[in-house]
Amino acid sequence: MLAIARQRMLGQSFKKILPAVSVLRSYSSAAKQITVREALNSALDEEMSADPKVFLMGEEVGEYQGAYKITKGLLEKYGPERVLDTPITEAGFTGIGVGAAYYGLKPVVEFMTFNFSMQAIDHIINSAAKSNYMSAGQISVPIVFRGPNGAAAGVGAQHSQCYAAWYASCPGLKVLSPYNSEDARGLLKAAIRDPDPVVFLENELLYGESFPVSDEVLDSSFCLPIGKAKIEREGKDVTITAFSKMVGYALKAAEMLEKDGIYAEVINLRSIRPLDRSTINTSVRKTNRLITVEEGFPQHGVGAEICASVVEESFSYLDAPVERIAGADVPMPYAANLERMAVPQVEDIVRAAKRACYRSVPLAATA
């Protein structure tokens, strides 16, 4: 019932926002297009088929087939022993999942939203993330915590937070955040196969988005490396780093900047922890400028960590101050007009890039 109520509440907002999100896709031709939802579902299906130790658990993942239909068809195929509907008690079922991982099973724990993972954060941090170190390597915890993360539409301050920086600050966790269907499929497979706990941050506004995938991506053996970013668009004038939905915004901004003769290089981080510092710094040493983009709060954010890395390793290559684009430093407003102001927009990225390239008009000139 919780999922049904949430879906109805979001329905009208999604209809307004999804068309805008779809404009932001940037890709070349490919053999087939699949949605992010289908990519995640197929990854789960194939990994469950390949390894009987993999099982799913969470609120309404079975009979309802998932709050966002990511687990559609899996209960019928694998049965209730491997697709477990849980009560609305994140602390309880997350603890059960971590215990199962201690004994060699491979749980995939779904949070209906990562905001609810706060109920279970003790198990994620103190039980899952630290056990391998505290046992001197004797205990592995092969578990995946997955679900939608970040701002959705009209769900207020308590359901709109981005947890990338929260979890990425903790040693012992790996934190992944896919953008497109290739990311979703390849990174989820990698997460399930990994011997360590992985926090897998999705975005519900991207679930219904279609992206092209190659035959290689559709192969059951396909897997992406953890800790490796992808250059989505090459450029020479400014580097833009982003993850999840913000990659689409960055690509759209790059298209707009090109019309003004600014060629932006867009990096899809994919992996928040470990962070691909090498790819980021190599790009900055080429472009001499950096813009970081994220939905989360600005203080102690992912962008702040990237800035620190570039200052430490590539400071002498910078020709302009680093620009950070992030969510507003306030709880998410409920009103739609204020909500839009609280999250990064494409035009924010464009303005930042022009400032970095010294192409913006001084305020005094417009007075």
Q: Which of 90, 110, 265, 295 is catalytic?
A: 90
Question: For residue 274, how many other CB atoms are within 10 A of its CB?
Answer: 12
Residue whose tokens read 């890039």:
353
254 phi-psi bin (left φ>0, alpha ψ -120 to 50, beta other) = alpha
Give whole-number Cα distances, 367 to 60, 247, 347, 363, in Å: 57, 34, 21, 7
Q: Give me the helices (H) in the chain, please.
A: 2-22, 36-50, 74-78, 90-102, 121-122, 131-134, 164-168, 181-193, 215-218, 245-258, 277-287, 302-314, 336-342, 346-356, 363-366
Angstrom distance (rounded) from CA 31 to CA 88: 41
Asked whether 175 and 226 are in contact (CB, 8 A), the reply is no
Annotated catalytic, 255?
no
DSSP assignments along 196-232, one per residue: S-EEEEE-GGGTT-EEEE-HHHHSTT--PPTT--EEE
- Marked catalytic residue, from 47, 59, 123, 159: 159
Report CA 357 to chain centroid distance, whole Å: 28
Is 110 an annotated catalytic residue?
no
Residues that are catalytic: 90, 159
